Amino acid sequence: MNSRTVPVSASHYWYQHLAEIPGVVGRTNVGSDACIHLLVRAGFDQLIPKTVSSIDGREYPVSCEIVEPPEFQGFRAQMRPIKPGASISVSTNNAGTVCAKVTREVGGDRKIPYLLSCEHVLCGHEGTTVLQPAAEDGGNRTISAVATLSDRVGLQPYGVNDVDAAIARLNHGIDMVNVPDSYGVKIRGLSRSIKPSTKVVMYGRSSGRVEGEVVNPSVDIKIGYKISGSVQTYRFRNVARCNYINAPGDSGAAVVDANSGYLLGMHIGGDANTAAYFCHASVIFRRLNLSLM
């Protein structure tokens, strides 16, 4: 996105037009038409044009100040109890997002609580310490250790994957609830089928609460993940394509049916303004023998 035509004075154009771009939350008070200064949520500045043009041909530069509005700051902060959308990582990897609180039966009726996220977020060996918030959001092993890595599906760099998932056992005294936002809407269950045009909500560490819809419930794609400093490309099949806005750090986010509250899947990647992808929750839960808690 390089330039747009401004039909009115540049100082007011942002509100009528640029403010419609996802991630724009306001402007700074600069008192001049020489430049347009926008307040933009982290991860969304790439959607903003560098310049805008008036009808007389004059160009105005557009600058962005990265901000986190109060309603989204909580996703990157320490969160107790932990909720879907919370920032998470191991100490040696980039930040990702908590999807949901899950369990699996161990010895009769005994149920162990785990948190679910992507494997490329919770990478490491069994017993690796998991931090909330993530290390890059200020988390450390002294006060932010909330779980230990327990199991994963196993990403195949030379094969084809249908999920990207790992679970970590919650430490004693650490609780999690499947209520992702202040509206008090709980993730009610697990969806077994996904249809085109289904309205969805994603809860991501970087993007916060964003809405969209399913474009195609089953596509084959390639995604490049940066894990411990190096990039590896993975092939996926039978993942859903959506149109919600997303940003780095959203991997692991819960994607929920906006009408029913059922968990559809877990965000695994995309780009900010054209596509987002999630793997089917039903496949994740079957592969790791999980149930919602």
pLDDT band at 217 (very low <50, low <70, confident <90, very high): very high
Q: What is the layout of strands, in order, in the sheet containing 87-90?
A: 96-97, 87-90, 129-131, 145-152, 166-170, 111-117, 100-105, 291-292
In a domain, 293, yes or no: no
pLDDT band at 225 (very low <50, low <70, confident <90, very high): confident
231-261 pLDDT tens trace? 889 999 999 999 998 888 999 999 999 999 9
Mean pLDDT of 57-79: 74
Domain boundary among 67, 87, 118: 67
Domain count, the chain: 3
pLDDT given for residue 39 in this prediction: 74
Q: Are residues 57 and 81 in the same domain?
A: no
Q: Are residues 54 and 93 in the same domain?
A: no
Share of the chain above pLDDT 70, in %: 80
Other Cβ atoms less than 10 A from the Cβ of 216: the count is 13
In a domain, 149, yes or no: yes
* pLDDT for residue 16 is more than 70: no
pLDDT given for residue 61 in this prediction: 83
What's the farthest any 2 CA atoms get from each other in the chain? 75
In a domain, 184, yes or no: no
Write the CATH number for 107. Answer: 2.40.10
Domain boundary among 50, 67, 84: 67
DSSP assignment letter at 246: -
In a domain, 180, yes or no: no
User: Which of the listed ranges 104-118, 148-162, 215-229 does the model predict with the highest average pLDDT?
Assistant: 148-162
Q: Are residues 81 and 137 in the same domain?
A: yes
pLDDT given for residue 108 in this prediction: 60
pLDDT given for residue 137 in this prediction: 87
Which token pair is 260? 């029913």
* pLDDT for residue 34 is more than 50: yes
168-191 pLDDT tens trace? 999 999 999 998 876 556 898 999
Find the range with the poorest average confidence among 45-49, 132-136, 273-277: 45-49
**In angstroms, rounded to a whole number, what is the distance separating the alpha carbons of residues 64 and 44?**
10
Q: Which residues, in sequence order, are bridge partners of residue 41?
A: 67
In a domain, 12, yes or no: yes
pLDDT band at 7 (very low <50, low <70, confident <90, very high): very low
* 185, HSE (Cβ side, Cα atoms, 13 Å): 14
Q: Are residues 45 and 118 in the same domain?
A: no
* pLDDT for residue 32 is more than 70: no
Q: Are residues 230 and 277 in the same domain?
A: yes
pLDDT given for residue 8 in this prediction: 43
Q: Are residues 151 and 193 in the same domain?
A: no
pLDDT given for residue 13 in this prediction: 54
**In angstroms, rounded to a whole number, what is the distance separating the alpha carbons of residues 144 and 131?**
5
